[in-house]
Amino acid sequence: MPLLDLDTDAIVIGERLAEGAPLIACLCAQWCGSCREYRDVFEQISAQSPDLCFVWIDIENQAEVADAFDVENFPTIVIEEKETTRFLGALLPQRGVLERLLAEFTKLPGIQTTARLRPLLAAEE
């Protein structure tokens, strides 16, 4: 599945999340050079993982979504399954780091004390 952008693909994102696809979101900013470079990596990995829902969120264009996460460093990655947040944090903008995280995220303990992104992107049960 290609990388989805919250600015242009909100309906498709909602559908994918309603189907139960794990969410892999990158919270970035257009003015950030690292984010602009990282987008290509994020897009390539999304093309190799059709069972996951990869979403690019520009925190300035989507402030109402990003404000709940207090983003201080870029890129900030959010990984959520239907009921559980598995990861929320800044990540080195390197392909191998993201690939390792994606290979292991289902083994990470759930984070109970953080805001959830999925409910902001899709109306779920």
CATH topology of domain 4-80+101-120: Glutaredoxin (3.40.30)
SS3 content of the chain, % helix, strand, coil (to 5): 40, 20, 40
Res 69: pLDDT: 80
Asked if 91 and 97 count as a contact pair (C-beta separation under 8 A), the reply is yes
Q: Is the pLDDT of residue 1 over 80?
A: no
Q: Is the pLDDT of residue 88 over 50?
A: yes
Query: pLDDT tens-digit profile of 4-60?
Result: 999 999 999 999 999 999 999 999 998 989 999 999 999 999 999 999 999 999 998
Res 125: pLDDT: 39
d(CA 103, CA 101): 5
Asked whether the whole model's pTM tops 0.85, one would answer: yes
